[in-house]
Amino acid sequence: MAAGRYDIKIEQGSTFTLNLTYKDSNDQPLNLSTYQSRMKIKDSHEGSVIASTESGDAPLNTISIALGSSTNNVVVTITDTATAAFNFDHAVYDIELVSNSGAVERLIEGRVFLSKEVTS
């Protein structure tokens, strides 16, 4: 199944949460208990990492993703401290699911827009 397309806006200095509900091509909930997830935000597709779930991207590994074990929910969170450090106008992201067998499926992709903070 092709990745969904969804642009997101992150408010600098605020906790960012993205709740996704994942269903298969028959509109049925997909059991996510056998999957791991990963996400990166980059300044361009081939560019520099801004934020990631990957430990290899430390100290930029500031994204956490919770997969529902009995539901098909995907919850992405970036803390207010992490978003306060962001300094870009727009970027790109994607989220991938990795099965226990190692198969990778891109869940969603899009652009990221940063709404810059005035009060800090």
Q: What is the mean pLDDT of residues 58-78?
A: 88
Return the pLDDT at 3: 84
pTM for this prediction: 0.90
Q: Check: CB of residue 8 under 8 Å from CB of residue 112.
A: yes
Structure confidence by residue, pLDDT tens digits, 1-30: 678 899 999 999 999 999 988 877 788 777
Q: Check: CB of residue 111 under 8 Å from CB of residue 43.
A: no
73 has pLDDT over 90? no
Top pLDDT among 80 and 72 is at 80
Top pLDDT among 107 and 1 is at 107
